[in-house]
A and B are shown apart, each in its own frame.
Chain A
């Protein structure tokens, strides 16, 4: 494997990890506040659909992004209502949201565009195109650093940079601000927040809202960044992979970056080497594409160390004496 190939694989990994990273951080906010969210998948899918539709109709990727965020937020609101206000079961609500998004996107897509659930292909300003960072071309000839800057760091859509910026931002919010302190507290022991005179409900809605925004960006990136339009079930389990990455990362922002990078890398490798020839045997392509999912299962089965979730996660808060 030569240097340019490595750069290409890493470059591909960065693209592929971006929706995972956004969804993982989305889940991080929600679960740190004590609201489990397996509806990341559905929210991403809904966002992909609304983003692609509006981007197609208006020709603006940015308006598409707004629509994606709005679509995802709407589902977040449903999840918030059922799990915070009405103290319902958060897992069931999440599953319902996934089903809802899966059915609704195809139904609306067929009704509006008549392409069997797809949206028409997006072109030009309707997509987030790759941006070239300054001096990329000038630096390219420099050995090692040149290709890393020009081919790996430069040349992604703006949403990729946004996603990476969210990692330090999330860390800072979580550990350096009042909001972050309260957010973490409400996921560990909501009674402590309540007795301190702070509204548990408002905090949890805020967290679920942030989760919706980040899932919206992730979905918009799927439909208007990586791809050129919406295809049915295009989230392809990324919401669940993001959840696995979140557990792997033990609900910490920087670890989330590395966890999602690992998944992105596996996917990139599978794309690059559909039939990995190890000399004695050739690994079939199905196995290679299944790698991220296999890793998900391994992580969820608890083979990678003990991950302690936020203590009040999954439980609606009921005031007690």
Chain B
């Protein structure tokens, strides 16, 4: 699509060579994007692919290091949010930017008041809201306090805010993440109505189903780069899933065939509804045997995180859980947050986000190596902790895991990503757990550390332990796993053996399509979840 400056045929937004780095991390690399006027444009990609950064640049939160932004064909320097608003861009953030104890009206006019006094602004907004409500199904009580509204209604307030500011271009960041299916359907009706009125909508998501359902065009981001831009009706979920995950150089892991033994972990009918009322797990059944690595593949955000948290003993507080989990034949309590009891029962856990859940970044490496096991008898010295013993233990583990620099006194934040991960893996693997839960073991980790960590995981398996591997890296899953289960929308779509599975086959499953039936998985409705309501407030 060529841009002709200043005319009505110019695309609503055109980005040319946008780059942005945060320190050593290149969040956006030479992004080109053309969004035609009056279309719904999807931007899809894994978590951390750089979608949110790109949109924050568009909304003036960050200045790009390089590149050019054209709005309606005119080059525009978006220096702050005020400029973005004046250029007709409205943003609906994933985490709403609303004042909880203000009324809807007050939230709508905030920052867009007509003058020093509120009264005229409030009455104009009231009329405007009425008009928008009837035009776009955006009904909200203007005098209700935001904190009394459901999440779906709060989102409508955000959309109303943008429309009140005369936004022509509406950016929505992961808008359905917090919505129930019914609310999401309503949102899509609103968005279609807005598009039909000539508004341009950019929808950021990692959900393929939404892209296929509502967008006109879709752009795929991976690792900070825009890897493809296609018309939605000329593509399919499988292709998009492959583009998102990407095909990389195949990693080779030398491993002997698995010798599976007795089941270590059995999960039956595990369901979870989070506090926002969204059903995150919709009945998970799986078994992991001794001496076996079960890999869970899938686009992130399909329930993997919740599964790991539940098995690790710290489900989201207030979430509703159902089903049974047994470890070595012993039932594990589902509710109640007790990650310590899990560790004592022989479950090691390398969490998905090492910097948030796996380490305390300001603490020394030796302290981090002891966390979770700091009350082990060998670390006690009467009433006190035996710091000398902990230090010696940490030094040994760091040496065996080749952590560089091998200095236990250094704070965790001073290690590179790969070495941080080695600290966490060393802590969990060296305790010789019966079951190792390991999430995204090599995210942001250099190639040398990847090989090392993979080798340790296989060694643990060969020692007759069970490993549950969750990764969004398809290559990692196929290289390491003895069995692959694909998760989609809170359920296991299917199981494959790694040497029999093709990328296309797995891509279909990841996109919610079962190739065996070749029917698109449109049948995922809340009606298939009897016994758990949708968490209506």
Which residues of A line the B interface, CB within 8 A? 175-182, 184-185, 188-189, 191-198, 311, 319, 321
Which chain B residues border A195 with CB–CB below 8 Å? 59, 81, 91, 93, 97
Which of B53, B59, B100, B109 is in CB contact (< 8 Å) with A189?
B100
Shortest C-beta distance, B39 to chain A (Å), equals 24
Which chain B residues border A179 with CB–CB below 8 Å? 116
Q: How far is the CA of A188 from the CA of B53 in the complex (A)?
A: 25
Which chain B residues border A177 with CB–CB below 8 Å? 116-118
- Asked if residues B117 and A178 are in contact (CB atoms below 8 Å), the reply is yes
B101: interface (CB < 8 Å): yes
Q: Which one of A192, A194, A319 has the greatest number of beta carbons of chain B within 10 Å?
A: A192
Known: A177-B116, A321-B56. A188 touches B100 (CB 8 A): yes
**Which 3 pairs show the lowest CB-CB distances between chains A and B?**
A196-B111, A197-B82, A178-B113
Q: How far is the CA of A321 from the CA of B60 in the complex (A)?
A: 11
Considering only CB atoms, which chain B residue lies closest to A195 in the complex? Answer: B97
Shortest C-beta distance, A103 to chain B (Å), equals 34
10 new A-B contacts at CB < 8 Å, known A189-B97, A311-B101: A177-B116, A177-B117, A177-B118, A178-B118, A182-B111, A185-B110, A188-B102, A189-B100, A195-B91, A198-B111
Which chain A residues border B52 with CB–CB below 8 Å? 321
- Asked if residues B53 and A321 are in contact (CB atoms below 8 Å), the reply is yes
Shortest C-beta distance, A128 to chain B (Å), equals 32
Q: Which one of A195, A198, A311 has the greatest number of beta carbons of chain B within 10 Å?
A: A195
CB pairs A–B below 8 angstroms (23 shown): A176-B119, A177-B118, A178-B113, A178-B115, A180-B118, A181-B109, A181-B110, A181-B118, A182-B111, A188-B101, A189-B97, A191-B97, A192-B107, A192-B110, A195-B81, A196-B81, A196-B112, A197-B84, A197-B85, A311-B100, A311-B101, A321-B53, A321-B61
Q: How far is the CA of A254 from the CA of B301 in the complex (A)?
A: 49
B80: interface (CB < 8 Å): yes
Q: How far is the CA of A185 from the CA of B99 in the complex (A)?
A: 6
Shortest C-beta distance, A95 to chain B (Å), equals 24
- Interface residues in B336-351 (C-beta closer than 8 Å to A): none
**Binary flags per residue of B90-132, CB closer than 8 Å to A gives 1, else 0:** 0101000111111000110111110111110100000000000
Q: How far is the CA of A188 from the CA of B147 in the complex (A)?
A: 12
Considering only CB atoms, which chain B residue lies closest to A192 in the complex? Answer: B97
Shortest C-beta distance, A170 to chain B (Å), equals 15
Which chain A residues border B106 with CB–CB below 8 Å? 181, 185
Q: How far is the CA of A176 from the CA of B115 in the complex (A)?
A: 11
Q: Which one of A185, A196, A319 has the greatest number of beta carbons of chain B within 10 Å?
A: A196
**Binary flags per residue of B48-61, CB closer than 8 Å to A gives 1, else 0:** 00001100100101
Which chain A residues border B56 with CB–CB below 8 Å? 321
Which chain B residues border A321 with CB–CB below 8 Å? 52-53, 56, 61
Q: How far is the CA of A272 from the CA of B412 in the complex (A)?
A: 64
Considering only CB atoms, which chain A residue lies closest to B109 in the complex? Answer: A181
- Asked if residues A184 and B116 are in contact (CB atoms below 8 Å), the reply is no
Which chain A residues border B99 with CB–CB below 8 Å? 184-185, 188-189, 192
Which chain A residues border B59 with CB–CB below 8 Å? 195
Which chain A residues border B97 with CB–CB below 8 Å? 189, 191-192, 194-196
Shortest C-beta distance, B242 to chain A (Å), equals 27
Q: How far is the CA of A195 from the CA of B61 in the complex (A)?
A: 9
Which chain A residues border B84 with CB–CB below 8 Å? 197
Interface of A is mostly: helix
Which chain A residues border B110 with CB–CB below 8 Å? 181-182, 185, 192-193, 196, 198
- Asked if residues B117 and A189 are in contact (CB atoms below 8 Å), the reply is no
- Interface residues in B137-173 (C-beta closer than 8 Å to A): 161
Q: How far is the CA of A195 from the CA of B106 in the complex (A)?
A: 15
Considering only CB atoms, which chain B residue lies closest to A198 in the complex? Answer: B111
Which chain A residues border B100 with CB–CB below 8 Å? 188-189, 311
Shortest C-beta distance, B197 to chain A (Å), equals 23
- Interface residues in B219-256 (C-beta closer than 8 Å to A): none
- Asked if residues A178 and B80 are in contact (CB atoms below 8 Å), the reply is no
Known: A188-B99, A195-B91, A321-B52. A176 touches B111 (CB 8 A): no
Considering only CB atoms, which chain A residue lies closest to B111 in the complex? Answer: A196
Considering only CB atoms, which chain A residue lies closest to B112 in the complex? Answer: A196
Shortest C-beta distance, B149 to chain A (Å), equals 15
Which chain B residues border A181 with CB–CB below 8 Å? 106, 109-110, 113, 118
Shortest C-beta distance, A40 to chain B (Å), equals 24
Q: How far is the CA of A193 from the CA of B82 in the complex (A)?
A: 11
Considering only CB atoms, which chain B residue lies closest to A312 in the complex? Answer: B99
Known: A195-B81, A196-B81. A176 touches B113 (CB 8 A): no
Which chain B residues border A198 with CB–CB below 8 Å? 82, 110-111
Shortest C-beta distance, B308 to chain A (Å), equals 24
Shortest C-beta distance, A107 to chain B (Å), equals 39
Shortest C-beta distance, A182 to chain B (Å), equals 7
Q: How far is the CA of A196 from the CA of B112 in the complex (A)?
A: 8
Which chain B residues border A180 with CB–CB below 8 Å? 118
Q: How far is the CA of A192 from the CA of B101 in the complex (A)?
A: 12
Which chain B residues border A185 with CB–CB below 8 Å? 99, 102, 106, 110
Q: How far is the CA of A184 from the CA of B109 in the complex (A)?
A: 13
Shortest C-beta distance, B62 to chain A (Å), equals 9
Shortest C-beta distance, A43 to chain B (Å), equals 28
Shortest C-beta distance, A301 to chain B (Å), equals 24
Shortest C-beta distance, A201 to chain B (Å), equals 12
Q: How far is the CA of A189 from the CA of B96 in the complex (A)?
A: 10
Which chain B residues border A188 with CB–CB below 8 Å? 99-102
Which chain A residues border B112 with CB–CB below 8 Å? 196
Which chain A residues border B161 with CB–CB below 8 Å? 196
- Asked if residues A197 and B80 are in contact (CB atoms below 8 Å), the reply is yes
Which chain A residues border B53 with CB–CB below 8 Å? 321
- Asked if residues B111 and A197 are in contact (CB atoms below 8 Å), the reply is yes
Considering only CB atoms, which chain B residue lies closest to A180 in the complex? Answer: B118
Which chain A residues border B102 with CB–CB below 8 Å? 184-185, 188
Which chain B residues border A189 with CB–CB below 8 Å? 97-100
Which chain B residues border A182 with CB–CB below 8 Å? 110-111
Which chain B residues border A192 with CB–CB below 8 Å? 97-99, 107, 110
Q: How far is the CA of A133 from the CA of B109 in the complex (A)?
A: 43
- Asked if residues A319 and B61 are in contact (CB atoms below 8 Å), the reply is yes
Q: How far is the CA of A193 from the CA of B85 in the complex (A)?
A: 13
Which chain A residues border B93 with CB–CB below 8 Å? 195
Which chain A residues border B91 with CB–CB below 8 Å? 195
Which chain B residues border A178 with CB–CB below 8 Å? 113, 115-118, 121
Shortest C-beta distance, A318 to chain B (Å), equals 12
Shortest C-beta distance, B71 to chain A (Å), equals 16
- Asked if residues A176 and B61 are in contact (CB atoms below 8 Å), the reply is no
Which chain B residues border A311 with CB–CB below 8 Å? 100-101
Known: A181-B109, A194-B81, A197-B81. A176 touches B98 (CB 8 A): no
Q: How far is the CA of A180 from the CA of B119 in the complex (A)?
A: 12
Q: How far is the CA of A177 from the CA of B101 in the complex (A)?
A: 17
Which chain B residues border A197 with CB–CB below 8 Å? 80-82, 84-85, 111
Which chain A residues border B116 with CB–CB below 8 Å? 177-179
Q: How far is the CA of A192 from the CA of B106 in the complex (A)?
A: 11
Known: A188-B100, A319-B61. A193 touches B118 (CB 8 A): no
- Asked if residues A176 and B118 are in contact (CB atoms below 8 Å), the reply is yes
Which chain A residues border B81 with CB–CB below 8 Å? 194-197
Which chain A residues border B109 with CB–CB below 8 Å? 181
Q: How far is the CA of A184 from the CA of B106 in the complex (A)?
A: 11
Q: How far is the CA of A175 from the CA of B103 in the complex (A)?
A: 12
Considering only CB atoms, which chain A residue lies closest to B115 in the complex? Answer: A178
Considering only CB atoms, which chain A residue lies closest to B173 in the complex? Answer: A321
Q: How far is the CA of A194 from the CA of B95 in the complex (A)?
A: 14
Q: Which one of A180, A185, A191, A197 has the greatest number of beta carbons of chain B within 10 Å?
A: A197
Q: How far is the CA of A191 from the CA of B98 in the complex (A)?
A: 8
